[in-house]
Structure 1
Amino acid sequence: MPVSEMLARISSKELTEWKAYYKIKEDMQKEEERKMQAKYGKHNKSTTLGT
């Protein structure tokens, strides 16, 4: 199903809820990245230890 068709079927309220969900998810990911940088240093982009 094309995205345009899916958007036509979804209500404005549902769309707003999904946007909020993904914004929260994105913010949580950014916060995790910030914590990893603070813990392991800003120059270490790897999230695996020992490699």
Structure 2
Amino acid sequence: MNKTRDISVVGGTGDFFMSRGVATLMTDAFEGEVYFRLRVDINLYECWEKA
């Protein structure tokens, strides 16, 4: 169980067509062994506008 984890963001639709970036997942809170809350920060570095 890592406190934070980075995953890649590739693709998308609508306003986020062909997006590239990184999403950081952070464990925000635990309730027992089953329930937990995640916080997600998404940073997009490249985004194309649809023509």
Query: Which structure features the higher share of helix residues?
Result: 1
Structure with bigger gyration radius: 1
Coarse TM-score class (shorter-chain normalised): under 0.3
